[in-house]
Chains A and B, each alone.
Chain A
Amino acid sequence: MTGLLYALLSLGTFALLAGIVLAVAQKVFHVEGDPMVDKIDALLPQTQCGQCGYPGCKPYATAVASEGEEVNHCVPGGERTMLAIADLMGVEPKAVEQEAAAPMLAFVREDECIGCTLCIKACPVDAIIGAPKQYHTVLADHCTGCELCVEPCPVDCIDMLVKPELIEHWSWPLPETRRSRLGHERREHHAGHA
């Protein structure tokens, strides 16, 4: 009888201690928000273009992390981003439906601008400056090329231009040898079916 009592007591004490440790750990190591969302958000190109069907990169990241949204909706991110997210989520990669266009840049034709500020309100990264009834202009260094400013413009004075390639940003292509091409293709093939 005493044996049984001892067993019950010791197990009970142990369970209590473990419970306290767990309770403390939950308080001490509490994580604000979903860490997965931030990790996915960090992989996205942050153009905030909404082409994925969500109003920005963070909402899409949230949807992928917690609502089981597909990983292949980010158009500007292209295949590389899709592969990175699939890798992170541990899901099967899916082909990106839409080919990413060349990086673009919005440009306001200033002599046609009427200063309505609608594009300024539409810009998700505050890359357009101007004031009511003043010309607006796009800060080229900050424009992500999301095209969200084109639609609201009542006089259609915003053009999307191909981002000029800078000589400082030029980088060497792969050498033009058969082996280099083959090796690279093989690697891409493997990445696609990882």
Chain B
Amino acid sequence: MPAMLRNLAQRLGMMAHSFDGGIHPSDHKLGAGLHSEPCPLSPVHILPMKMHIGEACLPLVAVGDRVLRGQKIARSEGYVSVPVHAPTSGRVVRIEEYAIPHPSGMGMPSIIIESDGDDASDDSLEPITDWRNTDPALLRERARMCGLAGLGGAVFPTFIKLVQDSRFPIETVVLNGIECEPWLTTDHRLMLEYADEILTGLAIIMHMVNTDSAIIAIEDNKSDAAEAIEQALALRDDLEGARVVLLPTRYPQGSEKQLIYSLTGREVPAGKLPMHIGMLCQNVATARALYRAVVRAEPLTERLVTVSGDAMPRPANLHVRIGTPMRYVFAQQGLTDFEDVRILHGGPMMGELLRHPDVPVVKSTNGMLAMLEASFMGGHTQEQACIRCGHCSEACPAGLVPNLLADQCRSDQFEKAESYDLFDCIECGACSYVCPSNIPLVHYFRYGKGQIAQQRREKSFAEASRLRSEAREMRIERENQARAARRSSVRKTHAPAAESTAKTDAAGDSAADKTDEGSKD
């Protein structure tokens, strides 16, 4: 349907709102029917000092220290940061750089813990069972202390969003159970198995931001999850204002801004956050983690991970301790040979391709996919010329013109790309997916964004250097003037005496000269 007609129909209330663009990739949700199970305890855990968006942490433990499960082992530096906790009891064996799941393949300072097998917990944190009568600021501190970060994949520190700001009061909390990425089934399983924990988490969020309205958004390919949530909701009397909304399945509906538009017809302006239009979006897994942090006093040391992919002998949904090496998790499900296998961290649309499985599971790991080399490379045939078909613009959920942006990024016309709103791109990959010429559009955007960020960094460094150098010149100038002033004032006060000393000096000098000459002779 033409966009204008659809807009009109939506305005008149004849049609549900729905974000522009989007695609329908086949969903491959192999793990949807598999009950979640705990992953055995790994003998080693690797805890990178940064598993969230923001500043890295500083280690609090030293090599040789004994730690307990849930013990804080690294403290946060700066505001946008959350601490790191030991996932099990054991001994710190090394603190060194270790590879993390990152497209660069680079490492990050990490604490490496050898488990002792006891899995003893640190019980110093008190549960807050009466959270309804607890100051939201205390709960917020609890969320920070327990290391909560958005478990949907963006890992933005949760406590920052859970705030009552008088300028931007939150009207509606959106609980995101969309999980639109193909293959991934963690949120699906959580909603089926832990509906009540998720709803308590939601109630805590609503108490913290002081609102009584909430929407639990679920896609219609997970109607069983929606039913489970509805049933759990019916048994509770404290969530009157919460309702379940079943949305038609479309990728990338789980993206915050697109989801809010689908639910309310309101757009989050570019460069703004949902809170600026009175919305707060949290993932179902984060809500459950918040429940466990508050009511059970459990820091974030474990998360549900979809282990799947077409090269996976036994797909599963595993509760994996954070820091468990991926190779160990894959081995539990029967995958030990990584020849001709590509590993993805996250889903196939937005996930990162990993170079090897020797990286730890981190807070953002919602999925680990092992894909066959052949099926993986099927989508990456040779890049052809753009034929201006416009499919990418139609698929773009952010209303951008991907083919144009890709041209600009490829040829380093970054100002132009920025003026065409490159930074509004959410890197969902819908454009690359539909491109008949196999242009790696999102890859170009990532290149462009990286180059622009680099230029900005260089510029601000140059500016800071310029200021420092100017300040230095001014200081030298000032010092010279002060010295000159001192000299002249000394001359003035000691004028007659100075003259006589000057004379004697001169006399002495000539005498010295003479003696020098004499000695030379």
Binding site for B on A (CB under 8 A): 41, 44-48, 56-57, 124-127, 142, 144, 165, 167, 169-175, 177-180, 183-184, 186-188
Q: Which residue of B lies closest to A127 (CB)?
A: B468
B469: contacting residue among A56, A173, A174, CB under 8 A: A56
Residues of B within 8 A of A144 (CB): 461, 465
What would be 16 A-B contacts, judged by CB atoms less than 8 Å apart? A45-B465, A124-B469, A125-B468, A126-B469, A142-B465, A165-B106, A167-B107, A169-B454, A169-B457, A171-B453, A172-B446, A174-B443, A177-B440, A180-B440, A184-B410, A188-B412
Judge if B411 is at the interface, Cβ distance under 8 Å: yes
Q: How many whole Å from B416's CB to the nearest CB in chain A?
A: 12
Residues of B within 8 A of A180 (CB): 383, 410, 440, 444
B411 lies within 8 A of A184 (CB): yes
Convert B421-454 into 0s and 1s, putting 1 for each residue whose CB lies closer than 8 angstroms to a CB of A: 0000000000000000001100110110111011
Q: In the complex, A173→B454 CA distance in Å?
A: 12
A46 lies within 8 A of B450 (CB): no
Q: In the complex, A44→B469 CA distance in Å?
A: 13
B106 lies within 8 A of A167 (CB): yes
Residues of A within 8 A of B382 (CB): 177-178
Q: In the complex, A125→B464 CA distance in Å?
A: 9
Contacts A125-B472, A179-B385, A179-B439 known; 11 new A-B pairs at CB < 8 A: A45-B465, A57-B466, A126-B468, A126-B472, A169-B457, A172-B450, A174-B444, A174-B447, A177-B382, A180-B410, A187-B412
Q: How many whole Å from A1's CB to the nearest CB in chain B?
A: 64
Judge if B234 is at the interface, Cβ distance under 8 Å: no
Q: Which residue of B lies closest to A165 (CB)?
A: B106
Judge if B471 is at the interface, Cβ distance under 8 Å: yes
Knowing A124-B472, A175-B440, A177-B440 are in contact, say whether A46-B463 is a contact too (CB < 8 A).
yes
Knowing A167-B108, A170-B104 are in contact, say whether A41-B410 is a contact too (CB < 8 A).
no
Q: In the complex, A47→B449 CA distance in Å?
A: 25
Judge if B477 is at the interface, Cβ distance under 8 Å: no
Q: In the complex, A188→B450 CA distance in Å?
A: 18
Residues of B within 8 A of A173 (CB): 447
Q: Which residue of A lies closest to B441 (CB)?
A: A175
Residues of B within 8 A of A187 (CB): 410-413
Residues of B within 8 A of A174 (CB): 410, 443-444, 447
Q: In the complex, A47→B466 CA distance in Å?
A: 8
B444: contacting residue among A41, A46, A56, A175, CB under 8 A: A175
Q: In the complex, A45→B462 CA distance in Å?
A: 5
Q: In the complex, A172→B173 CA distance in Å?
A: 35
Judge if B27 is at the interface, Cβ distance under 8 Å: no
B383: contacting residue among A41, A124, A177, A188, CB under 8 A: A177
A125 lies within 8 A of B443 (CB): no
Judge if B103 is at the interface, Cβ distance under 8 Å: yes
Most chain A CB neighbours (cut-off 10 Å) among B102, B407, B443: B443
A45 lies within 8 A of B458 (CB): yes
A171 lies within 8 A of B465 (CB): no
Residues of A within 8 A of B462 (CB): 44-46
Residues of A within 8 A of B457 (CB): 169
Q: Which residue of A lies closest to B108 (CB)?
A: A167
Most chain B CB neighbours (cut-off 10 Å) among A41, A126, A167: A167
Q: How many whole Å from B102's CB to the nearest CB in chain A?
A: 6
Q: How many whole Å from B256's CB to the nearest CB in chain A?
A: 23
A175 lies within 8 A of B108 (CB): no
Q: Which residue of A lies closest to B475 (CB)?
A: A126
Q: Which residue of A lies closest to B465 (CB)?
A: A46
Q: In the complex, A169→B457 CA distance in Å?
A: 9
Residues of B within 8 A of A57 (CB): 466, 469
Q: In the complex, A124→B470 CA distance in Å?
A: 9
Convert B376-402 into 0s and 1s, putting 1 for each residue whose CB lies closer than 8 angstroms to a CB of A: 000000111100000000000000000
Q: In the complex, A177→B382 CA distance in Å?
A: 7
A171 lies within 8 A of B450 (CB): yes
A142 lies within 8 A of B468 (CB): yes
Q: Which residue of B lies closest to A48 (CB)?
A: B469
B451: contacting residue among A56, A125, A126, A171, CB under 8 A: A171
Most chain B CB neighbours (cut-off 10 Å) among A41, A126, A174, A188: A174
Q: In the complex, A44→B462 CA distance in Å?
A: 8
Q: In the complex, A178→B438 CA distance in Å?
A: 12
Q: Which residue of B lies closest to A181 (CB)?
A: B410
Residues of B within 8 A of A124 (CB): 469, 472
Q: Which residue of B lies closest to A45 (CB)?
A: B462
Q: In the complex, A47→B465 CA distance in Å?
A: 7
A171 lies within 8 A of B440 (CB): no
Residues facing A in B173-226 (CB within 8 A) are none
A171 lies within 8 A of B464 (CB): no
Knowing A142-B464, A170-B104 are in contact, say whether A175-B383 is a contact too (CB < 8 A).
yes
Q: In the complex, A16→B361 CA distance in Å?
A: 82
Most chain B CB neighbours (cut-off 10 Å) among A41, A57, A179, A188: A179
Q: In the complex, A178→B410 CA distance in Å?
A: 12
Q: In the complex, A46→B440 CA distance in Å?
A: 36
Convert B268-289 into 0s and 1s, putting 1 for each residue whose CB lies closer than 8 angstroms to a CB of A: 0000000000000000000000
Residues of A within 8 A of B407 (CB): 183
Residues of A within 8 A of B446 (CB): 171-172
Residues of A within 8 A of B461 (CB): 46, 144
